[in-house]
Amino acid sequence: TGAMCSLQRQLEIQESQLQRAKSEKERLQKELRERENQLQAMSAKFCSLREERKHEEMMVTIEKENCSLRQVVTEQEFKLAEKNKLISDLQGTVSQLQAEALTNRYNIYKQQRAQEEMQSQAETLQHAELQTRVALECITSRFERFRSKIIQATFGTAGIKPPQAELTDEEVLEAMQKIINERIEFHQILKQKG
């Protein structure tokens, strides 16, 4: 955004300089036309005075003025050429700044789109995380209830000493395995006795 503002300011400055150069060019062209009109008028006057011998001094003066006007016209044409070159350079600079501004706008647009996409992905991940947490809590709750029922079934059996402290999963598994083994042995004895 700072680069965009800087480019915009440069663009405005260049356009202002371009406008001033165009105004100067129009002024020089107007002055050149006036000088040419003066030159034509002086040339007509020179032709008229040349026919009269009495005005030889005036003819010399007019000739000097014509030379001076030609020099002024040459200088004005040179200045006009310089102004045209300046206008061309300014137009090139303006075009370059406009291209840079367009590129920066496009880059900003792409960054905004990428940011929106990342925001959307983050929201999706947060939603998935929330669902996962809910599912995990549900599974954990079911597991705890299942484990509690297993402990009750295992240590609620006659002849099994109830636990005095928190049981580990290995201890619960050993107790269940012991009950299963005892039942298998009892079943084998019953089979042997018919």
Q: What is the mean pLDDT of residues 165-173?
A: 79
pLDDT above 70 coverage of the chain, percent: 92
Residue 145 resides in a domain:
no
> Domain residues for 34?
7-125
pLDDT at residue 160 greater than cutoff 70: no
Task: Report pLDDT digits (tens) over 29-40.
Answer: 999 999 899 888
pLDDT at residue 168 greater than cutoff 70: yes
Residue 137 resides in a domain:
no
Residue 61 resides in a domain:
yes
Place 47 in a pLDDT band, splitting at 50, 70 and 90: confident
Q: Read off the pTM.
A: 0.40
Q: What is the mean pLDDT of residues 46-50?
A: 70
Give the DSSP H/E element, type plus range, for residue 160.
Answer: none
| Mean pLDDT of the residues in the chain | 87
Residue 52 resides in a domain:
yes
Task: Report pLDDT digits (tens) over 107-153.
Answer: 999 999 999 999 999 999 999 999 999 999 999 999 889 888 888 87
Residue 24 resides in a domain:
yes
Encoded tokens for 166: 């928190």
pLDDT at residue 54 greater than cutoff 70: no
Residue 118 burial (CB < 10 Å; 0-12/13-18/19+)? exposed
Place 159 in a pLDDT band, splitting at 50, 70 and 90: low
> In angstroms, rounded to a whole number, what is the distance separating the alpha carbons of residues 44 and 38?
10
> In angstroms, rounded to a whole number, what is the distance separating the alpha carbons of residues 53 and 71?
28
Residue 1 resides in a domain:
no
- Closest CA relative to residue 96, chosen from 3, 2, 5, 14: 14
Residue 72 resides in a domain:
yes
pLDDT at residue 158 greater than cutoff 70: no
pLDDT at residue 49 greater than cutoff 70: no
How high is the pLDDT of residue 135?
Answer: 95
How many domains in the chain? 1
Encoded tokens for 46: 């020179």
pLDDT at residue 50 greater than cutoff 90: no
Residue 151 resides in a domain:
no
